[in-house]
Amino acid sequence: MPRYVARTISPSRSSMGFTLLELLVVMVIIGLLAGYVGPKYFAQVGKSEIKVTRAQIDAMEKALDQYRLDTGHYPSTEQGLAALNTAPTNELKWSGPYLKKNVPLDPWGNAYIYKMPGDHGELDLFSYGKDGQLGGDGEAADITNW
């Protein structure tokens, strides 16, 4: 009858884990990737906020045009963009709401500026951009309908 000898099984090299040097190399590679990809990613976020602002201005401009078709005029500066959702007093031909939702804030949390009559056209509709102030460059530039 064959006799079996019990052996102790020692863990192989692959099941023991990683060495400190291997972990450091992986951490350096991840750091380099984050340093390269991170700024490019966040630059795209800024560009997308500008695109969203332009799209919102365009949608509100179309709603304002529909308001004008119904009433014969754009809302006054005092009535503002709120006239797209709530009928102004003494406006008999109002057939709104002209927007499905309330007038949005720009992507930076600021209200859009509406002027009627406008300085640059029949009406002015714009956002001051990321900095919330007149003028600026890049993401801080004003985004307008003219």
For the chain, what are the domain ranges? 49-144
pLDDT the model gives residue 8:
60
Q: What is the mean pLDDT of residues 125-138?
A: 85
Please give the mean pLDDT across all residues of the chain. 85
Residue that is written with structure tokens 């990737």 in the block: 33
67 with 91: CB under 8 angstroms? no
pTM of the model: 0.67
| Residue 125 near residue 145 (C-beta atoms within 8 A) | yes
Instruction: Supply the pLDDT for residue 60.
Output: 94
Say what the pLDDT of residue 7 is. Answer: 61
Neighbour tally for 61: CB within 10 Å? 13
For residues 88-92, average pLDDT: 87
Question: What is the pLDDT at residue 15?
Answer: 60
Residue 12: per-residue pLDDT: 57
Cα 118 to Cα 2, 4, 24, 35, 104, distances in angstroms: 102, 97, 60, 45, 21
Say what the pLDDT of residue 57 is: 93
pLDDT (mean) for 12-27: 79
Whether the CB-CB separation of 122 and 74 falls below 8 Å is answered with: yes
Instruction: Spell out the CATH class of 49-144.
Output: alpha beta
Segment 63-81 mean pLDDT: 93
Q: What are phi and psi of 53, to 5 degrees?
A: -60, -45
- In DSSP notation, 30-62 reads HHHHHHHHHHHHHHHHHHHHHHHHHHHHHHHHH
Q: Which amino acid is at 35?
A: G
CA 38 to chain centre: 18
Over 60: is that where the pLDDT of 102 sits?
yes
DSSP annotation of 115: E
Q: Tell me the mean pLDDT in the region 10-38.
A: 80
Total residue count of the chain as it appears in this document: 146
